[in-house]
Chain A
Amino acid sequence: MAMDVGEERPLSDATAGLSSEVLAMVFAHLPTKSRVLAALTCRRWLHLLAPSFSTVSDLRIVLEESSCTPSFQVDQIGEKLQLCVSVCQCAEHLASQVSLLRALMIVVGPSLEGIVVDDCLVGPNAFVADASVHTILLHCPPTLVRFELHNVDVSQLHPWTLAQLASMDNLRELVVEQCAQRMADTHPPPLLTDIFLGKLMSASSHQLSQVRITDCPLVSDRLLNRLARHCPNLWLVDVSGCKQVTAIGVVSFCETIEERQADTLVFQANGAGVVGDHLARHLQSPYSRMSQESRWFVVSIDVEIGYPKKAARLHKQACPSKAIIVFA
Chain B
Amino acid sequence: MIQLCSNDDPPVSFTVPRKAVELSKTIKTMLEDLEGFDMEQTPIPLPNVDAPTLELIVKWVEQHQDDPPPVEKPRVEDDDSDDSDADDDQEPEVVIPEWDKKFLPTDDEQKNQLFKLLNAANYLEIKPLLDIGCKYVADKISGQTVEWVRDYLNMENDYTPEEEAKLKEEIAWAEGL
Q: Are A17 and B118 in contact (CB under 8 A)?
A: no
Which of chain A's residues have a CB closer than 8 A to the CB of B173? 93, 96
Q: How far is the CA of A125 from the CA of B91 in the complex (A)?
A: 46
Decide: B142 and A15 in contact? CB cutoff 8 A: no
B16 interface residue (CB < 8 Å to A):
no
Given A14-B119, A19-B122 in contact, is the A28-B134 Cβ separation under 8 Å?
A: yes
Do A17 and B159 touch (CB < 8 A)? no
B42 at the interface (CB under 8 A from A): no
Task: Please determine whether B149 and A26 come into contact, CB atoms closer than 8 angstroms.
Answer: no
Closest to A23 in B: B153
Report chain A residues within 8 Å CB of B118.
18, 22
User: Which residues of A (89-124) have their CB < 8 Å from a CB of B?
Assistant: 93, 95-96, 99-100
Of chain B, the residue at the smallest CB distance from A16 is B154
B32 is an interface residue with CB less than 8 A from chain A: no
Write out the residue numbers on chain B whose beta carbons fall within 8 Å of the beta carbon of A270. none
Given contacts A32-B88, A70-B177, A96-B170, contact A40 B134 (CB under 8 A): no
27 pairs, A vs B, C-beta closer than 8 Å: A1-B166, A15-B115, A16-B112, A18-B115, A19-B122, A21-B122, A22-B122, A26-B141, A27-B138, A28-B90, A28-B134, A28-B138, A29-B134, A32-B87, A32-B88, A32-B89, A34-B143, A37-B146, A38-B141, A38-B146, A41-B150, A41-B155, A43-B158, A45-B155, A81-B88, A93-B173, A95-B169
Interface, chain B (partner A; CB < 8 A)? 48, 87-91, 94, 112, 115-116, 118-119, 122, 130-131, 133-135, 137-139, 141-143, 146, 149-150, 153-155, 158-159, 162-163, 166-167, 169-171, 173-174, 176-177
Apart from the given pairs A22-B119, A93-B173, 17 other A-B contacts in the complex at a CB distance below 8 Å: A14-B119, A17-B154, A21-B122, A22-B115, A22-B122, A22-B130, A25-B131, A25-B134, A26-B134, A29-B91, A33-B177, A37-B146, A38-B149, A41-B146, A44-B155, A70-B174, A99-B166
